[in-house]
Amino acid sequence: MSPEPNVRDAEVAAFREAVLNKLEYAVGKDAAHAFDHDWFMAIALATRDKMAERWMNHTRYIYKQERKRVYYLSLEFLIGRLMFDSLSNLGIMEIAREALKGLNVDLDNIRTLEPDAALGNGGLGRLAACFMESMSTLGIAGHGYGIRYEHGLFRQAIVDGWQQEQTENWLDFGNPWEFERPEVIYQIGFGGSVQPVLDVTGNPVLDASGETRQVWHAGETVRAIAYDTPVVGWRGKAVNTLRLWRARAVEDLHLERFNAGDHVGAVAEVVRAESISRVLYPNDSTEAGQELRLRQEYFFVSASLQDLLRRHKNMGYTINSLPEHAAIQMNDTHPSIAVAELMRILIDLYDVEWDEAWRITVGTLAYTNHTLLPEALETWSVGLMERMLPRHMQIIYMINAQHIDDVRLKHKDDPDLFGLLRAVSLIEEENGRRVRMGNLAFIGSHSINGVSALHTQLMRKTVFAQLHKLYPDRINNKTNGITFRRWLFQSNPKLTAMLVKELGEQVLDNHETALLKLEPLADKPSFQKEFAAQRLHSKQALAAIIQDRMGITLNPEAMFDVQVKRIHEYKRQLLNLFHTVALYQAMRADPSTNWVPRVKIFAGKAAASYHSAKLIIKLANDIARTVNNDPTLRGRLKVVFIPNYNVSLAESIIPAADLSEQISTAGLEASGTSNMKFGLNGALTIGTLDGANVEMSEQVGLEHMFIFGMTAQEVEARKHAGEFNAHNDIASSARLNDVLQAIRGGVFSPDDPYRYVGLIEQLISYDRFFVCADFESYWAAQARVEARWHDAKEWWRSAVLNTARMGWFSSDRTIREYANEIWKALD
């Protein structure tokens, strides 16, 4: 609801005055000489003041009501730009726009100056950001904990078709949204040794369990310094805290070394310490990289646990009551060292007896699993753990010993007891002894959840099958969701305006149910026309971005066929590229057919050490170069790989998509969230029955999606039979054989004809992700896509129904389920 005219005028004037005050007193500029970036800082700081007032009120309310707190531990928080997010959720977007117009400042132009916070890579980090916003919207006392990466992942540049990793400098001009907390500092130890505690007579001092007390003498200490970012919920009802940790050395300079002329050595400890919060996901293909990854994970977990326990203690609660007042959710295996660290703090620092410490730990911690790939469940070599975290390794051994003894006692009649013990142990004995962090997170948590119905079902049968037998009540499902405020209201204002016009403002506050009222309009020609018009507007905007950044001209009337996500073999960008080549060959062979004009859009980053994924990016760009320069196509097919995919780019791509590619090998994608974002904006999905695609098909209807390929059960059957050789699949598809021969023969790489020989030969001999097996089914599904596109009425009917039926995939619903069923944190 818009305020009364006099009230609105006053609010506009007040915001304008606040911006001018920040420009003068915080930025140090006057309006006549301010640059655009000066205006951005002033607007952000004025907006932050609005947030801070509500933040303090909400914090005081939480303390007064003694609300149970939820602590969300995540190595990633992909929060994107915050200006429009904050203005929109505070309900002052139009007030700000009008106030700045009076200063001859274009808010939409200023918005583009804000860098994306480089605090994540893909779906895991974006999910964490959505969850933080939903916790604020629902009034849950939520706290996010992570790392304040100075450079984040990397800025992706495409040079001659190859990915090049460049330093991401998102903090170069400062971060106006954060509050540094120099008084909130914790000491984080690494290395050293563990010694028994002896009294003055040399006798061992006993702990609460009657065992010899141990003390960890760390060989290195690093400081963790807090930086807080307020996260405002919808309508500004509540504001929670995202607390990120920056690593600093205990001493910023070794003055004695410096004065002795060793200027580099004098800051060596500073460099080593600050490397912890320098880069997200450092290359772990080396031992040094693995060590840094472990240091990062322990650093932020230890600081976060120390911080939340300090808060718990300051509230006057006993340490034994921690599970009643705090819930800690571990987002994937990265924070799973929290199991050992919480036990260490309770036993060594609070003198809690072992069994009671274990009760507290399990009762407080919960674990979200995000992968079914065994290699993606983190493991650390025992040697590295003993060297870096010796006390934690002792505790892990003790947890494992009790765990194994308990299993041996309860399952002594199991005919394969040895196999069971080997599967559930925290220590992997094959191929070098390693600590299984997934198993540690499982047995150290009272709840283990999957993120889609299929994923949760497969968790019980695959990666955690044996542990599920031991703890049958622990695994549960919480299907992922997305915040509609970011991925509809902000990303697609034209569609949002349409929805408000037809359904009223209730769609903004109750989108989970209100969107269903859109269904009757799906058959209304005038609404279909308007729906198609807003899509065309988004496509024109995206085409302008691509033209500006890449110099490629696109036809906005063509079908925009989009696959944007992290580059990984199981996500099967390769399958999409094979279809692109097959389509290219078919168009050249039969130019008279009424082909649907199509733009294939790819984007995503490959891990720096993931050579196969980087080769796929090169292939995409080689295909794009060939296709886009072929005059015989007459512009009916274009291929684009957009560099440096991030949240802001996604906000431009997703509203412009006609077709959403969700084509991972069935049974391997835990959930996916881009599928939800595309569907919400009315894109039709082509995909396998994988992850949340299954629930989308149930909510939206199979007739409004294009499902293809093997099911998870069929994939598992082929794996079990060892049927990875693709010769038979290729022999039964002349179309696929032509595609492979063209790529292997250098048609798309004339500068290096042998570039893709290894890629294709490896695929033929070991098609691990069944790209070839699913190709013909995929081609047939794409043919159905073309037929539907030719029937505009049916296409736009399906598009409207996709938007209408996506309400269930709101992250508000997901968080409500977490809060009610795991955290017990809603009134």
The whole-angstrom separation of Cα 719 and Cα 174 is 50
pLDDT tens digits, one per residue of 516-529: 999 999 999 999 99
Mention every residue, 6+ apart, whose C-beta is less than 8 A from residue 669: 455, 570, 571, 662, 690, 691, 693
Mean pLDDT, rounded, of the chain: 96
Q: Which two tokens stand for residue 228?
A: 């807080």
Q: Are 674 and 123 in contact (CB under 8 A)?
A: yes
The whole-angstrom separation of Cα 247 and Cα 226 is 9
Instruction: Return phi, psi of residue 601, to 5°.
Output: -115, 125
Closest by CA to 491, choosing from 50, 26, 36, 80, is: 80
List helix spans (H) across 425-524.
437-443, 453-461, 465-470, 484, 493-503, 506-509, 511-514
pLDDT tens digits, one per residue of 471-488: 999 999 999 999 999 999
Residue type, 617: I
- Which pTM value belongs to this model? 0.96
Alpha-carbon torsion angle 577, 579, 580, 583, nearest 10: 160
- Residue 3 is predicted with a pLDDT of 64
Closest by CA to 534, choosing from 597, 491, 563, is: 491
The whole-angstrom separation of Cα 739 and Cα 437 is 41
Mention every residue, 6+ apart, whose C-beta is less than 8 A from residue 485: 85, 88, 89, 133, 137, 234
Give the orientation angle of helix 493-503 with respect to helix 525-550, to 10 degrees. 160
The whole-angstrom separation of Cα 362 and Cα 346 is 12
305 alpha carbon, distance to own chain's centre: 22
Neighbours of 57 (CB within 10 A): 12
Q: Which two tokens stand for residue 669?
A: 């994608």
CA atoms lying within 13 Å on the CB side of residue 706: 26
On the 0-12 / 13-18 / 19+ scale of CB atoms within 10 A, 533 is exposed
The whole-angstrom separation of Cα 816 and Cα 823 is 10
Closest by CA to 97, choosing from 47, 49, 137, 132, is: 47
Closest by CA to 333, choosing from 211, 439, 437, is: 437
- Residue 373 is predicted with a pLDDT of 83
CA angle 479, 480, 486 (to 5 degrees): 150
- Residue 257 is predicted with a pLDDT of 85
Taking 70 as the pLDDT cut, the residues of the chain under it are: 1-4
Q: Is 827 helix (H, G, I), strand (E, B) or coil?
A: coil
- Residue 1 is predicted with a pLDDT of 53
Closest by CA to 329, choosing from 145, 671, 71, 69, is: 71
Q: Which helix (H) or strand (E) holds 181?
A: strand 179-190
The whole-angstrom separation of Cα 700 and Cα 679 is 9
Closest by CA to 90, choosing from 42, 127, 48, is: 48
From residue 287, give the alpha-carbon distance in Å to each of 291, 376, 386: 6, 18, 14
pLDDT tens digits, one per residue of 172-223: 999 999 999 999 999 999 999 999 999 999 899 999 889 999 999 999 999 9
360 alpha carbon, distance to own chain's centre: 29
DSSP 228-262: EEEEE-GGGS-EEEEEEEEEEESSS--HHHHHTT-
The whole-angstrom separation of Cα 167 and Cα 154 is 5
Domains and CATH numbers, the chain: 67-82+117-480+816-823 (3.40.50.2000), 484-708+773-809 (3.40.50.2000)
From residue 399, give the alpha-carbon distance in Å to each of 42, 321, 632: 53, 22, 67
From residue 530, give the alpha-carbon distance in Å to each of 485, 596, 799, 824: 22, 22, 12, 44
Q: Which two tokens stand for residue 295?
A: 């240091």
Quickly tell me which residue has 């209304």 as its tokens: 524
> What own/partner pairs with CB < 8 Å and gap ≥ 24 does 589-594 have?
591/632, 591/634, 594/790
What proportions of the chain, in percent to the nearest 5, are helix, strand and coil?
Answer: 55, 15, 30
Residue type, 287: E
Closest by CA to 658, choosing from 555, 762, 523, is: 555
The whole-angstrom separation of Cα 637 and Cα 587 is 9
The distance in angstroms from the start CA to the end CA of the chain is 28
- Residue 365 is predicted with a pLDDT of 98
Q: What is the CA radius of gyration of the chain?
A: 28
Q: Which two tokens stand for residue 474?
A: 């622990």
Q: Which residues sit opposite 240 in a β-bridge?
A: 231
Q: Are 247 and 223 in contact (CB under 8 A)?
A: yes
Give the orientation angle of helix 453-461 with respect to helix 693-700, to 10 degrees. 140
CA angle 236, 241, 247 (to 5 degrees): 150
Q: Are 239 and 192 in contact (CB under 8 A)?
A: no
Q: Are 132 and 144 in contact (CB under 8 A)?
A: yes
Quickly tell me which residue has 């870096």 as its tokens: 388
For the annotated catalytic residues, the residue numbers are 370, 565-566, 571, 673, 677
DSSP 91-155: T-HHHHHHHHHTTT--HHHHHTTSPPB----SHHHHHHHHHHHHHHHTT-EEEEEEE--SS-S-E
Strand residue runs (E) in 308-396: 326-331, 365-368, 379-381
376 alpha carbon, distance to own chain's centre: 15
| 732 DSSP 8-state letter | T
